[in-house]
Amino acid sequence: MKYYFLSDAHLGSLTVSDPAAHQAKFIGWLEMAAADGDAIFLLGDIFDFWFEFPKAIPEGYDAVIETIRRTVQRGVEVHFFCGNHDQWTFGYLESHCGVKLHRKEFVTQLCGKTFFMHHGHGLGEMSRATRRLNALFESRISRWLFRYLMPPRAAWSFGYKWSERNRLRHSEHDGVFLGENNEPQVIFAKHYSAEHPGTDYIVMGHRHIELNLMLATGTQLVILGDFFSLFTYAVFDGKDISLETYL
């Protein structure tokens, strides 16, 4: 039994110098994982900006979408977690590709081990500005207004540029480990594992840091890194989980 975990590819990001090569590398990873994996967990921000409109989906991802669809068809489960950059899917990925969609946390058993999975945004983050932004993104009203009042191409252009500005604005802290006492996801994991004894693994993305940490509670916390600069992912072989680099 083998299970693969990846997050934060940010396909389509304006900060990536060669988008075509980046997308090809992600497709190569998908094909590698599908070759011997029982399930693939894509833990959010796979796309740098994904917003579906009633008659249009973001352009330029045909090869990625087709690879995911073929992976599911061959019997490999693909779980797609909504991240803070690609949470605006309204049915296309599920109906066309057959992915299992998760908008919140997903707790499951793999080979007798209990896994908690989530993209990671909003967990342990105490900033009022962050909470307000997440609430705006998840608001039904704001989603409706964006979906029905914005022309698709203008909306996608806005989304990619917003993401680029946000990445550059926070580049000083992006991908930098803040320490156990300051890292939001570590703080969350410590509280969660204390309240949910028997949790074997907590797996998240979002922070663009590579972390494999055994907590005092006995829960193993894995933060997946990213797939645009580190090209890291995790694999669980039924006994142990490890962080790997896709070369």
The Cα–Cα gap between 9 and 58 comes to 16
Tokens of 92: 């296309």
**Angle made by CA atoms 218, 223, 229, in degrees to the nearest 5:** 155
Tokens of 131: 């909470």
Residue holding tokens 């979408």? 65
Tens-level pLDDT at each residue, the chain (247 residues): 899 999 999 999 999 999 999 999 999 999 999 999 999 999 999 999 999 999 899 999 999 999 999 999 999 999 999 999 999 999 999 999 999 999 999 999 999 999 999 999 988 766 676 677 677 677 787 778 778 888 999 989 999 998 998 877 776 677 788 889 989 999 999 999 999 999 999 999 999 999 999 999 999 999 999 999 999 999 999 999 999 999 9
DSSP label at residue 85? S
DSSP track, 184-218: HHHHHHHHHHHHSTT--EEEE-SS--EEEEE-TTS
Q: Model-level pTM greater than 0.85?
A: yes
In our burial notation (b when 16+ CB lie closer than 10 A, e otherwise), range 99-121 reads beebeeebeeebeebbbbbbbbb
The Cα–Cα gap between 126 and 1 comes to 38
The Cα–Cα gap between 37 and 108 comes to 17
